[in-house]
Amino acid sequence: MSTFAIDSAGSRVLRTEASADSATMRAAVFVAPGRLELRDVPRPTAGPGEAVVRVTLTTICGTDVHILKGEYPIRSGLVIGHEPVGVIAELGAGVTGYAIGDRVLVGAITPCGQCLACLSGHLSQCGHGEGYEALGGWRFGNTIDGAQAEFLRVPNAQANLAKIPDELRDEQVVLLADIASTGISGAESGRVRPGDAVVVFAQGPIGLCATAGARLMGAALVIGVDGDDTRLAMAKRMGADVVLDHRTTDVVSEVRRLTGGGSDVAIEALGTQETFESALRSLRPGGVLSSLGVYSGKLAVPYDAFGAGIADVEIVTTLCPGGKERMRRLMALVQHGRLDLTPLLTHRFPLDRILDAYELFANRRDGVLKVAITP
């Protein structure tokens, strides 16, 4: 059921969900490195062009763990999380074509769709109506309140609310917001072609989705690399033909042997010098290194692994693509049976127990891959 309310100035009409009148909500708030608290905070409202979504399912990303450890700085008091599925609870003025109660998926990256970056196709480097801003499209749980809460304010709602087809459950789409969009983009940016040999370094949630992405793009041989038995087993389930354990195998020479001289595309999905360098050394001349990892400190490119700069090797990087059209395409893959990420949702928690969920996820206990959080 919906109600209509006119704001005090009487100048704009807000459409709101009747049941959600409370002024506060539960949310996971970043306080300081190592300190996350479940708090009651003011419930967001929708300004012009915005929407408020009542979150029905969310999850925790490895990036949230980086934030919690103080490795990626955000301001104290921010609600974290950037992977929301929910129901539209409020629509601000100017948002058209949606109704209260619509089920929506919102990408981790929320481009404005109007700035120079967006209009040149670099939606993740969105400048919010102006020019370009590095990582500017990543706002939830970074520069504005995020999704680990009962309600979420969505900026630029017209560009970012992706309606969920009726037949898809929340669990089938929640991982599309970030890890699937990112992982699959690793294969797309690497321009994987039918018949290619692709090696994916690391089989965490991102690498597993890159493995699935390489398969979707038509790779003939997909090699997954990790050092965790559960993850290597999941790599096979997500589409790897061969898995290599970096603890016991000389991965570079094994990839060169399996591919007859080097892979067409190597996807880096960890963010270390070691895996970056191994990815480079695994490539054939003219191959593409598609890098998804987030690095810290310096990253070196050894001249011998790079053909001294003239082996026609390409290195490309990608930030998770967002926006409603990206989400629609990813949901179409699920809807038509091409992609199933539900095996990655290994654990479930109510929002009230999100601190336990962080503890499990951050320490990779009990074979966890992703946790489903229900507000």
Ligand X SMILES: NC(=O)c1ccc[n+]([C@@H]2O[C@H](COP(=O)([O-])OP(=O)(O)OC[C@H]3O[C@@H](n4cnc5c(N)ncnc54)[C@H](O)[C@@H]3O)[C@@H](O)[C@H]2O)c1
In three-state secondary structure terms, 269 is coil
264 contact, one of Zn ion, ligand X, none, CB 5-8 Å limit per kind: none
Question: Can you read off the two tokens belonging to residue 52?
Answer: 């408020």
In whole angstroms, the minimum distance from the beta carbon of 112 to Zn ion comes to 4
CA distances, 163 to each of 27, 193, 324 (Å): 24, 30, 8
In whole angstroms, the minimum distance from the beta carbon of 138 to ligand X comes to 8
207 lies in the binding site for ligand X (CB under 6 A):
yes
85: buried, middle or exposed (CB in 10 Å: 19+, 13-18, 0-12)? buried
Instruction: Rank residues 175 and 197 by Cβ distance to ligand X and give the closer one.
Output: 175
Residues 119-138 that bind ligand X (CB under 6 A): none
Q: Strands, E, within 263-321: which ranges?
A: 263-268, 283-291, 314-317
Rounded to 5 degrees, φ, ψ at 65 are -70, -40
- Is there a contact between 204 and 61 (Cβ–Cβ < 8 Å)? no
Whose tokens are 């990892």? That residue is: 293
Please select the residue that binds Zn ion; options are 90, 178, 264, 268, rule is CB under 5 A. Answer: 178
52 contact, one of ligand X, Zn ion, none, CB 5-8 Å limit per kind: none
CA-wise closest residue to 137 among 106, 109, 105, 178: 109
Please select the residue that binds Zn ion; options are 58, 59, 63, 158, rule is CB under 5 A. Answer: 63
Residues 98-127 that bind Zn ion (CB under 5 A): 111-112, 115, 118, 126
251 lies in the binding site for Zn ion (CB under 5 A):
no
In whole angstroms, the minimum distance from the beta carbon of 3 to ligand X comes to 38
Please select the residue that binds ligand X; options are 227, 236, 242, 329, rule is CB under 6 A. Answer: 227
Instruction: Rank residues 63 and 291 by Cβ distance to Zn ion and give the closer one.
Output: 63
In whole angstroms, the minimum distance from the beta carbon of 337 to ligand X comes to 24
Residues 231-270 that bind ligand X (CB under 6 A): 231, 246, 269-270
- Is there a contact between 308 and 299 (Cβ–Cβ < 8 Å)? no
Instruction: Rank residues 207 and 375 by Cβ distance to ligand X and give the closer one.
Output: 207
CA distances, 297 to each of 66, 116, 269, 294, 300 (Å): 15, 30, 17, 10, 10
Part of the chain binding ligand X (CB under 6 A), chosen from 8-16, 79-87, 164-172, 197-205: 197-205
In whole angstroms, the minimum distance from the beta carbon of 265 to ligand X comes to 16
- List the x/- string, 34-63, binding to ligand X by CB under 6 A: ----------------------------xx
Beta bridge partners of 208: none
Please select the residue that binds ligand X; options are 145, 226, 264, 277, rule is CB under 6 A. Answer: 226
d(CA 358, CA 344): 16
3-state secondary structure string, 84-97? CEEEEEEECCCCCC
**Interface with ligand X by CB under 6 A: which residues?**
62-63, 182, 201-207, 225-228, 231, 246, 269-271, 274-275, 292-294, 318-320
